[in-house]
Structure 1
Amino acid sequence: MRSLSLATILMSLLCVVPAPAQNESKAARPHSPTERAWELLDKGVTSNSGETRRLAVGALGLVPNNVHVVRIAEKSLRDENPQVRAAAATALGKMKARASIPKLIVALNDKEPEAVLAAAQALVSLKNQRGYEVYYEVLTGERKGGKNAVAHELEVLKDPKRLAEMGVEEGIGFVPFGGMGLEAFRALRGGTEIGVRAAAAAILAHDPDGRAATALSDATGDPNWHVRVAAIEAIAERGDPRLVSTVLSGLDDDKEAVRFAAAAAVLRLSIAKSHPQARPLTTASLAP
């Protein structure tokens, strides 16, 4: 038996009685989990609600090596909502979409700082030098080549509090746990026990111990939705297709963030299992 370790302590934080919050009415659905996952994300990224689009687009980062997912994220770089644009850039960086580098470079000219910073961090994660130009501006107050920074951007970039907030909101690496999911970040920032447990779930994503997988599976039924999201994202990151059944209940969760995370997890784990051809999305999703 291995000695008490940080991983053991983190797992103990997740040991709670599952109490999933799900929609009360559950009509029988004939679709497979993968089809339902596509449907959820497809509706989310085309929603009239900017917050819904942000959550759905952000979840796409969990689905690697899928051309349709990449195209949706690329389209979302032009969304009218800057938070959606930032989520799209972050998702492209997370899924290692190197073919999207030209579009991310264009996104560096966005008028909103959060979108610019997210695009910059995505480029840095893809090992493209253009991403560093924004960090140079943050440090020096001017852009490389002597060009003046856009006034509004520079004003925001000079505000440490606002800069830190953008770092937390988009997970762009200015703060600890830069690779953590957005909702886990928000919970952790609250400084509560819930935040600590959400952070624990995120950290356990890469713990090879089977007990970590069990703890994460149990946490998908946690009473708090931040923890459920963090656990589902961690299970997706583990990439073990045997765990796909543990995230299915999330497709019926009463919280959008949980449903989208579960949908992306189902797709990622299904791809890991059988490498099926990606399902084409609707015309609305793929239109330029």
Structure 2
Amino acid sequence: MKKRLLELAGFVLAILLIFGILLLVFPAAKSEFRGQKATQKTEKTLNYAALGDSLTEGVGDATGEGGFVPLFAKQLDNSYNVTVDYENFGKAGDTSAQIYARMTSQKKIEAGLKKADVITITVGGNDVLKVIRENISKISTLNAKDFTQPAKAYQKRVRKIFSTIRKENPNAQIYVVGIYNPFYLNFPNIKVMQTVIDNWNTATKSVVASEKNAYFVPINDLLYKGLDGKQAIEESSSSTTSESSTDTVQNDLLYTGDHFHPNNIGYQIMASAVFASYKKEN
């Protein structure tokens, strides 16, 4: 028994001796891990504030996480050496006037915009709908000219939004997302809407172009024809297409609950469009 214990002790000592030699010959890996931790600690935090209407809130997003906002934040986080800290200040139904009222009366929004390095704004869609509602009695004869004066008033409100942000935050990059035509596939006969959307986007783009560190992100061409870019029935079929078949046309990038807001795929396309604009500028 004593002999076996001595043999076991000798074996253990031999193993310890071998490990001791290995530690002396080969450098420890601890320094590499310490270096990685230090790199993580020195990552920059990018503050992102999302301001706007239902597109910012994320209506139609099945995950309930906020539409394109977290998707854009994740793309930033994955592509740059930054930790993205984002706040979502979207509220469904807000017009440009209501967005302005919230951002000037709510301290949390004021603070979020003040510290932001990046700001996204979705605005304009509800302003267009407001014009339609105010002219509902003559909806069948509504034309693009009926939107001219409202668009000018809208531009003034967007300038006020920019002016308010710049008073406290002159350097943030601001990305304004355009609006899109959700009726194109379902109601191809309402051709005036495409003209109205184009003109409204032009009005928004004009304001954005006059601002520093501000960029317009168009999304209409990415969304209004659906995922495969199909044309409306009246453009791809004969004029004898039955009315019932027109009812079957749906935009597969829109939320099936209202056929108006983007669905998850639509929001991913929006996020990618905003990210592409950010990547271009950075």
TM-score, normalisation: structure 2 = 0.28
Decide which structure has greater strand share. Answer: 2
Decide which structure has greater helix share. Answer: 1
TM-score, normalisation: structure 1 = 0.28
Larger radius of gyration: 2
